[in-house]
Structure 1
Amino acid sequence: MSTAAKSLLILTLLSGFAAALLPEETLGSALLIACGSFFSLLLLALIAGRKIKFDPVLR
């Protein structure tokens, strides 16, 4: 896992926990939006960091 993916995972977890613990009227919806955007960026970082090896010779 790349460092970008690790940092996005930490940000996703922190914003998710903060959204669950804080009351709804104090930044509740903004934290849920941040959690969703960090999660989508995490998925993109995981897909981009994947090393796909192409072997032209079929064995």
Structure 2
Amino acid sequence: MNADHEKMQAKYRVWKDLTEAYEAHISAMWAQTAVFDDEFKDLIKRMEVAHAEFMAASKPFIS
């Protein structure tokens, strides 16, 4: 594995972990044990940034 691939994998794991936290929060909202609060808004922003970073790190493999 080269450094670019390792970087992409690391960015993917961050995005995946945040996405799993997002999905868990959505499920908790459906169960009425969580709300759409500032913490959740921050999670969404962090997930968006992580996705953009993953996509940028993926460029060498899809271009």
Q: TM-score range, shorter-chain basis?
A: 0.5 to 0.7
- How many residue pairs are counted as aligned between the two chains? 51
Structure (1 or 2) with the greater helix fraction = 2
Identity %: 6
- Structure 1 unpaired stretches of 5+: 53-59
What is the root-mean-square deviation in Å for CA atoms of aligned residues?
2.3
- Per the normalisation by structure 2, the TM-score is 0.64
Structure with more relative contact order (C-alpha pairs < 8 Å, separation 6 or more)? 2
Where structure 2 has 5 or more consecutive residues not aligned to the other structure, the ranges are 26-33
Which TM-score applies when normalising by structure 1? 0.67
1:29 is matched with which residue: 22, 37, 41?
41
Between structure 1 and structure 2, the one with the greater Rg is 1
